[in-house]
Structures are given as C-alpha cells and as structure tokens.
C-alpha cells in the first residue's frame, strides 16, 4: 500500500476517508464541512458538457496524412507538398442520434479530419456523402429539427421529415444516397469520406483552383441492410467503437486514399451545374479524381472524453494555400462550428491538447474563462494590443493573403430553387444501381415513410417520378406491400415551397 499515491482533494490536500461521510454522531446528519463529499457530488454534476446538437455520437482516432503527389502548382500549403507526413485526428459520427444512440442506425456519417500542420490546424469537416440535404444555411436549423424529436411526443417524426423533404427537392440527391446501401456502413472503416463542400487551393503565383476532397476507403465498402443493422443493435449499440478502437488496439490500421478533383477558377462560370452547390457533385468525367496520397489511423485516444468528445473541428481552420469557396453552406459553417465549440466547451477550447495547434501560436486574444495559459501568447507582457512598437511582438503576415475572389454581384436573397435541376444527379446515381440495389432503395424509403400522411407521400413520390418513373413506381409498390398504402383517394400537393 505504501507505494500508492495519496488520494487528495482537487486542492491537493490528503483525503482522510473516501468511504464514509462526516456526520454529527453515528446516526446524525451530514456536516457541510465534509468538503470531499461536496466536491465529489459537485464535480459529478458537472461531468457532462452539452452534447453536439448534431453529430453527438462519435468515434475517433489519431493517424497521419501522407502526400505522395506533386501539388506545388496548385497550392503553397506545406502539408500538401510531396513527401509530407502530417499528424492528424479523425472523428466519425452519426448525425441525428444523441450520444447514447446505437451506432448501426441508417444515417449520414460525419467524417471530420483535423490535420496538425506546421502552419496551423487545417480541419476538413465532411461526411461519408459527397452532397448534403440543403444548399443554403438558412435551412439548416429547420432541417435538423425534422431529424430530432417532436416537441410534444419527444419522438422522432417521420411525418415532419417527409413533410420537410417533400417541400425541399434539393434534398433528393442526399436522400437517395442515405436510403441506398451506403446509408448504413458496417464500420467507420468501410466508408468513404468527402470534404463535400467546394474549397480552393492557391499557389505562389496567386492562381486559385476550386477543389473537392475525396477519401476512398481501402478496406472496401461494406454495408448492412436495415434488418442486419437491427440484428447488430440487438447485440451491441457500440459496434463502431468496438470495431474502430478494437481494430487499432490490435494493430489493424485502416487507410483511405486521398483524391482531389481540381477545377480551374474560371471554369466555375461554364459548368451546367453550380459547382458551389452542396447538393451537387462534379461528375468524374468532367473533373477526374486524382490520387494524391493516403491517410492511416494508427493510435487510439487515451481518454475518450478529453480527446474525442472535446475534439473541436471547424471548417474555419485552414492554412495558407487552402481557401474557401462561395458555397453558401460552407460560409454558414465557418461561423456556426467555432461558435458551437465556444458554447459547448468554452472560450479557450482551442487550447485543449487535442485541439491545440502543434506550431507556435501568437495572438492578442485576452483573458476569458478557464484561461490556464496566460491568454496573450505574444511572448511579451507589454504587447497586449496591436499595432504596438514592442520589440519581438507578433505582426501580421501579408504574404499569406489569399488571391482575391473574382466573383461579385448585388447583395440580395437569390432563390436557388428557380431554374435549378434537382433531378439529373440523383437520376445519374439511380441509373448506377443494379436491380438489387434499387429494390433495397425502394424498401428502405418505404420503411422510412411508415405512418406519414398520404398527401405528403404523394408529394414526395412526384419528386421521385421526376428522377425516374421506375424510382416512383418502385417506392409506390414497396409502400403498398409494406404498409398496404393506396394512393387512389389522395391528390398530389404542390411540389415545392415556391
């Protein structure tokens, strides 16, 4: 016993008893001065931080990004130069479920990557799908409300989901992927990741290229049907954590091939689709995927809460040579993600070890809750404002200014529905499916529509018909066989909100 450390309060004082409360007499009430008891209870009350509104249930690990191609003509980013190896963290997640949700639910998976580059942190906060349900951040909160619990019943509502979707045809592409085989991956290792948004790369000559990031699984795509997923959940609700953590623990290190699609800047004016629209892909035939390297996950976190729950990813984290694009949803996320972390973790969430850059940090940010590092990291206590004439204080770096965006126009609320083609790309995907994949798509959709009023179902079927008559017919037949659904007496409603 003597070689074990003393149990102490958080103030460092030895604790005489961790078993029995201090009472007035053997049957008397507890004394308020029993600080060890008070501290245990108070701290326990504070063990949880607010869970993420979306992507609450997650699984993560550390690894390395390896760049094998010469990208110097596209970008000055040091982490994207040939031969470079950059340490990283990945966190995968489901979107809608809470922290206690079962892992094997049909849902989009988050695919968030943090690269600890020598020029600062670069976060790519993507999904396992190349597109998303919305193309304007104005719609995000409403969309997510339809995926969460009804305010009265506290249950998920298929009616809310399909009411919203059937009034939002831009969601069709993502719905088709979600309800296809890829909507329920067997493990995080058996799915692709996509940066999803259009970003940009820029080089030393001030030239900008639009870019899409793809991460292709080297473990192969493996999916479960709904029935298989339900059977797994009956045995374990933590299948992804078991697979990812357990695999890495055994020395099985998953890898993803990193690919880029690159578009010259002025091509954005020529494509028949808006290349900044998050509901669209860039067809491979137009912009082929180029292999540029791979990443490997090879180290588990020592403490899940400290390193995975408190991992804070934000698309606003970027490094010189990498830029944003006019993608509206990306623009919204640049604010919303960092703001979510300030709310749920605290002002200095980026000072936590998992989030802290591995390069020196110098800024004039001052004070704030839980400031354990002195705040101003200028290196000189006299340099607590800027501009200043204090020797050695940090100064801005004009050399890393991005080339200007050559896109201008009137400030207005432009409709992105009118004239937009929400049907061709889902059709291209539908046409890729074989008969078995189509049959599973139909039955997954029909299953998800259980209990939804006929008017809403008809409105959605009208959209499926605009993708392909077989799509609509297949879902209609699956609805009839699964729910005894008949359309005869129901008239279709308007197909969009505008």
Residues assigned a catalytic role = 55, 127
Token digits of residue 75: 């970008």
Asked if residue 439 lies in contact with residue 473, where contact means CB atoms within 8 angstroms, the answer is no
Q: What kind and span of H or E run contains 162?
A: helix 158-166
Q: Does 283 bind ligand NDP (CB under 6 A)?
A: yes
The distance of Cα 129 from the centroid of its chain, to the nearest Å, equals 10
Residue span 205-234 as binding mask against ligand NDP, x where in contact by CB under 6 A, dash where not: ---------x--------------------
Q: How far apart are CA 37 and CA 438, in angstroms?
A: 60
Give the DSSP H/E element, type plus range, for residue 493. Answer: none
Least gap, CB of 259 to ligand NDP (angstroms):
8
Nearest distance in Å: CB 87, ligand NDP = 26
Could you tell me which stretch among 60-68, 85-93, 133-141, 422-430 binds ligand NDP (CB under 6 A)?
Answer: 422-430
Please, are residues 429 and 464 in contact by the beta-carbon 8 Å criterion? no
Q: Minimal CB distance to ligand NDP: which residue?
A: 429
For the CA atoms of 334, 338, 343, 347, the dihedral, rounded to the nearest 10 degrees, stands at: -140
CB nearer to ligand NDP: pick between 97 and 183: 183
Residues 468-497, interacting with ligand NDP (CB under 6 A): none
Report the C-alpha gap between 108 and 132 in whole angstroms: 9
Question: Is residue 130 near ligand NDP by the rule CB under 6 A?
Answer: yes
Residue 425 binds ligand NDP, judged by CB under 6 A: yes
Q: Can residue 180 be called a binding residue for ligand NDP (CB under 6 A)?
A: yes
The full DSSP string for 298-328 is EE--S-HIIIIIS----TT---TTEE--S-H
Report CA-CA distances (Å) from 42 to 47, 48, 304, 384, 444: 9, 12, 22, 36, 46
How many residues line the site for ligand NDP (CB under 6 A)? 17
Query: Is the Cβ of residue 200 or residue 310 nearer to ligand NDP in the bound state?
Result: 200
Burial 239-266 (b: 16+ CB within 10 A, else e): bbbebbbebbeeeeebbbbbbbbbbebe
Q: Which is nearer to ligand NDP, 121 or 259 (CB)?
A: 259
Nearer to ligand NDP, 281 or 345 (CB): 281
**What is the footprint of ligand NDP within residues 3-32 (CB under 6 A)?**
none
Q: Which helix (H) or strand (E) holds 465?
A: helix 454-467
Minimal distance, residue 277 CB to ligand NDP, in Å: 12
128 binds ligand NDP (CB under 6 A): no
> Judged by CB, which is closer to ligand NDP: 284, or 362?
284
Closest distance of CB 283 from ligand NDP, Å: 3
Dihedral (CA of 68, 73, 79, 81) sign: positive
User: Which of 180/241 has CB closer to ligand NDP?
Assistant: 180
- Binding residue for ligand NDP, selected from 428, 450, 486, 494, defined by CB under 6 A: 428
Site string for ligand NDP, 72-111 (x = CB under 6 A): ----------------------------------------
- Shortest Cβ 340–ligand NDP spacing (Å): 27
List CB contacts of 426: < 8 A, sequence separation 6 or more.
172, 173, 175, 176, 467
Q: Of the listed pieces 39-47, 89-97, 158-166, 173-181, which binds ligand NDP according to CB under 6 A?
A: 173-181
Question: CB 182 → ligand NDP: shortest distance, Å?
Answer: 4
Identified binder of ligand NDP from the candidate list 1, 432, 435, 497, rule CB under 6 A:
432
Strand residues in 73-217 grouped as ranges (E) = 85-94, 109-117, 120-127, 193-194, 199-202, 208-217
Judged by CB under 6 A, does residue 177 bind ligand NDP?
yes
Cα 35 to Cα 28, 29, 48: the distances in Å are 17, 15, 21
Decide the pairing of beta strands 109-117 and 85-94.
antiparallel
Residue selected from 192, 226, 279, 310 as contacting ligand NDP according to rule CB under 6 A:
192
Given the complex with ligand NDP, which of 127 and 317 has the nearer CB atom? 127
Radius of gyration of the chain (CA): 26
Sign for the CA dihedral angle at 366, 357, 126, 318 comes to positive
* Nearer to ligand NDP among residue 194 and residue 245 (C-beta): 194
157 or 425: CB nearest ligand NDP: 425
The answer to whether 200 and 323 have CB atoms below 8 angstroms apart is yes
Residues that bind ligand NDP (CB under 6 A): 130, 177, 180-182, 192, 214, 281-285, 425, 428-429, 432, 437
């Amino acid at each position: 016993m003597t070689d074990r450390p003393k149990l102490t309060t958080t103030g460092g004082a030895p604790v005489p008893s961790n078993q029995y409360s201090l009472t007035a007499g053997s049957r008397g009430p507890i004394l308020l001065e029993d600080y060890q008891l008070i501290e245990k209870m108070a701290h326990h009350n504070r063990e949880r931080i607010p869970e993420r509104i979306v992507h609450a249930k997650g699984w993560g690990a550390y690894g390395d990004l390896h760049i094998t191609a010469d990208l110097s003509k596209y970008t000055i980013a040091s982490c994207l130069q040939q031969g470079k190896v950059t340490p990283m963290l990945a966190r995968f997640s489901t979107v809608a479920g809470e922290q206690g949700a079962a892992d094997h639910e049909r849902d989009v998976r988050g695919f968030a990557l943090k690269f600890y580059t020598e020029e600062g942190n670069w976060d790519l906060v993507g999904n396992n799908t190349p597109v998303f349900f919305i193309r304007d951040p104005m719609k995000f909160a409403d969309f997510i409300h339809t995926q969460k619990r009804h305010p009265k019943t506290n249950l998920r509502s298929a009616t809310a989901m399909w009411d919203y979707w059937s009034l939002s045809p831009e969601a069709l592409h993502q719905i088709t992927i979600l309800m296809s085989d890829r909507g329920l991956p067997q493990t995080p290792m058996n799915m692709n990741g996509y940066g999803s948004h259009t970003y940009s790369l820029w080089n030393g000559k001030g030239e900008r290229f639009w870019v899409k990031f793809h991460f292709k699984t080297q473990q192969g795509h493996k999916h479960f049907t709904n029935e298989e997923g339900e059977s797994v959940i009956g045995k374990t609700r933590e299948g992804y954590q078991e697979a990812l953590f357990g695999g890495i623990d055994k020395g099985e290190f998953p890898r993803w091939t990193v690919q880029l699609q690159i578009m010259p800047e002025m091509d954005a004016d020529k494509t028949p689709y808006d290349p900044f629209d998050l509901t669209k892909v860039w067809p491979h035939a137009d912009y082929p995927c180029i292999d540029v390297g791979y990443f490997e996950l090879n180290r588990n976190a020592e403490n899940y809460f400290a390193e995975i729950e408190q991992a804070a990813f934000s698309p606003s984290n970027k490094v010189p040579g990498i830029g944003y694009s006019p993608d509206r949803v990306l623009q919204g996320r640049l604010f919303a993600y960092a703001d979510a972390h300030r709310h749920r973790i605290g002002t200095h969430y980026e000072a936590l070890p998992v989030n802290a850059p591995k390069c020196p940090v110098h800024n004039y940010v001052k004070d704030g809750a839980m400031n354990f590092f002195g705040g101003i990291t200028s290196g000189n206590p006299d340099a607590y404002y800027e501009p200043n004439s204090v020797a050695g204080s940090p100064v801005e770096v004009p050399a890393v200014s991005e080339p200007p965006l050559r896109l201008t126009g009137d400030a207005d609320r432009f409709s992105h529905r009118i004239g937009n083609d929400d049907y061709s790309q889902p059709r291209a995907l539908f046409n890729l499916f074989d008969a078995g994949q189509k049959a599973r798509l139909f039955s997954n959709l029909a299953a998800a529509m259980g209990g939804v009023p006929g008017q809403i179902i008809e409105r959605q079927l009208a959209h499926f018909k605009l993708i392909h008559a077989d799509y609509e017919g297949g879902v209609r037949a699956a609805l009839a066989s699964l729910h005894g659904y008949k359309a005869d007496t129901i008239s279709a409603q308007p197909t969009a909100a505008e």
